[in-house]
Amino acid sequence: MNYLSMDDIASLSHWVKEARELKGSPLKFQHLGKNRTICLLFFNPSLRTRLSTQKAAQNLGMNTMVMNFNKEGWALEYEDGTIMDQGKSEHVKEAAKVISQFCDIIGIRAFAGLTDRSDDQSEKVLNGFKKYASVPIVNLESSVGHPLQALADAITLSEHTKKHVKPKVVLSWAPHPKALPHAVANSFVRMMQKQNADFVITHPKGYELDKDITRDSRIEYDQEKAFQGADFIYTKNWSSFESYGKVISQDPSWMISQEKMDLTNGAKFMHCLPVRRNVVVRDEVLDGPASLVIEQARNRTYAAQVVLKKQLEYLQELDK
Ligand code: CP
């Protein structure tokens, strides 16, 4: 039972409910993880994902092993039939099978390279481990998606949405000096498509996300128009998908300010973090009462915990 994308969630509302129950009693299922180990492999940096997934595993009674693969592991080959006479020392075939002997679940973080779209879309690291590992896999952010972040965001949205209200949720691009991946935005879009909400994506022309992901989600190129009546502003930068991995605009007028938030219906501000202050969002918003960013990060634990709980229950069934 893998957790690779939002499509691996059977029922978002049930998973959110279960995560909120775990938040109320985080140690209730300690027995599930007894004598089980999760191995977290990081090919890229992390603060929240690394610590919240370890915390979730510990809450479930699991042991954790963490490896910064890019710095400490051998350079991996992913192609079949390659003559490995260049820089790659080990094939994912052996690596995944060996790691599977040491743990019960593997978590993998491997970002998009943002230079070769088809290479990124192939998710070679995640799919390589999926193909050769003999234990369940958790996506800790891959080239295309960040489903643990989106599940945490769904928890946060549910906590701040009044019962029987259909909220207006806006995903707004904001400027950034570096080319950033599409993973967070992609999974947020897929998560919102599973919600009963008025969902709008706003970005400058040229920053359209993959149409296979946005499908029929509404796009509004006028940010101020999109903000009108919004209950939640979810902000994220991403690079161009069409001009793949390029920063085609750093237009500072797209930065989130209090003036912009005042156009909304008293909206809450959301961002996955890390965030560049006064580039993506002004201090006044990030430090203000409408900011949910710290609560979002807190909910990363319960998102990971509900996923790991389901994987542990699956392993328990296999053992019967
Ligand atoms: N939001 C998020 O995934 O944070 P980290 O990159 O610090 O893990």
Rg value, the chain, Cα: 20
- pLDDT at residue 111, as a whole number: 98
- The mean pLDDT of 5-17, rounded to a whole number, is 97
Which amino acid is residue 45, in one-letter code? P
Distance CA 313, CA 36 (A): 12
Residue 49 Cβ contacting ligand 1 at under 6 Å: yes
Query: Are 10 and 69 part of one and the same domain?
Result: yes
Q: Tell me the residue range of the domain where 176 lies.
A: 149-296
pLDDT tens, position by position, 277-292? 999 999 999 999 999 9
pLDDT tens, position by position, 207-264? 999 999 999 999 999 999 999 999 999 999 999 999 999 999 999 999 999 999 999 9
- pLDDT at residue 125, as a whole number: 98
Query: Are 132 and 165 part of one and the same domain?
Result: no
Q: Which tokens in the block code for residue 276?
A: 């560049």
> What spatial distance separates the first Cα and last Cα of the chain, rounded to whole Å?
16
Does the residue 108 lie in any domain? yes
What share of the chain has pLDDT > 90, as a percent? Answer: 99
Does the residue 1 lie in any domain? no
Q: Which tokens in the block code for residue 63?
A: 């042991």
Query: Are 118 and 70 part of one and the same domain?
Result: yes
Please state, rounded to an integer, the average pLDDT across all residues of the chain. Answer: 98
- pLDDT at residue 203, as a whole number: 98
Query: Are 231 and 313 part of one and the same domain?
Result: no
Query: Are 129 and 247 part of one and the same domain?
Result: no
Query: Are 305 and 266 part of one and the same domain?
Result: no
Does the residue 136 lie in any domain? yes
Question: 272 alpha carbon to ligand 1 midpoint, in Å?
Answer: 7
Question: 274 alpha carbon to ligand 1 midpoint, in Å?
Answer: 7
- Closest listed residue to residue 169, CA positions, set 126, 141, 216, 201: 201
Distance CA 166, CA 152 (A): 19
pLDDT tens, position by position, 140-169? 999 999 999 999 999 999 999 998 899 999
Query: Are 244 and 139 part of one and the same domain?
Result: no
Residue 48 Cβ contacting ligand 1 at under 6 Å: yes
Q: Which residue among 298, 300, 301 has the greatest number of ligand 1 atoms within 8 angstroms of its CB, and so is best to mutate?
A: 300
- pLDDT at residue 311, as a whole number: 98
- The mean pLDDT of 84-89, rounded to a whole number, is 96
Task: Place 115 in a pLDDT band, splitting at 50, 70 and 90.
Answer: very high
Q: Which residue among 40, 41, 43, 49 has the greatest number of ligand 1 atoms within 8 angstroms of its CB, and so is best to mutate?
A: 49
Atom of ligand 1 nearest to the CA of 273: 1
Distance CA 202, CA 73 (A): 40
pTM of structure:
0.98
- The mean pLDDT of 57-78, rounded to a whole number, is 96
Exposure string for 37-48, b = 16+ CB within 10 A, e = fewer: bbbbbbbeebeb
Q: Which tokens in the block code for residue 127?
A: 């799919």
3-state secondary structure of 234: strand
From residue 212, give the alpha-carbon distance in Å to each of 144, 184, 216, 241, 245.
12, 15, 9, 12, 17
- Number of structural domains (the chain) is 2
What are the helix (H) ranges across 208-319?
211-214, 223-227, 258-261, 283-286, 293-319
Which amino acid is residue 13, in one-letter code? S
Question: 263 alpha carbon to ligand 1 midpoint, in Å?
Answer: 29
95 phi and psi angles, rounded to 5 deg:
-55, -50
Query: Which residue, judged by its Cα, is nearest atom 4 of ligand 1?
Result: 48
Query: Are 128 and 176 part of one and the same domain?
Result: no
Query: Are 162 and 128 part of one and the same domain?
Result: no
- pLDDT at residue 241, as a whole number: 98
Query: Are 107 and 180 part of one and the same domain?
Result: no
Question: 201 alpha carbon to ligand 1 midpoint, in Å?
Answer: 22
Instruction: Give yes or no for a contact between 124 and 144, defined as CB atoms under 8 angstroms apart.
Output: no
Residue 72's CATH number:
3.40.50.1370
Distance CA 30, CA 28 (A): 6
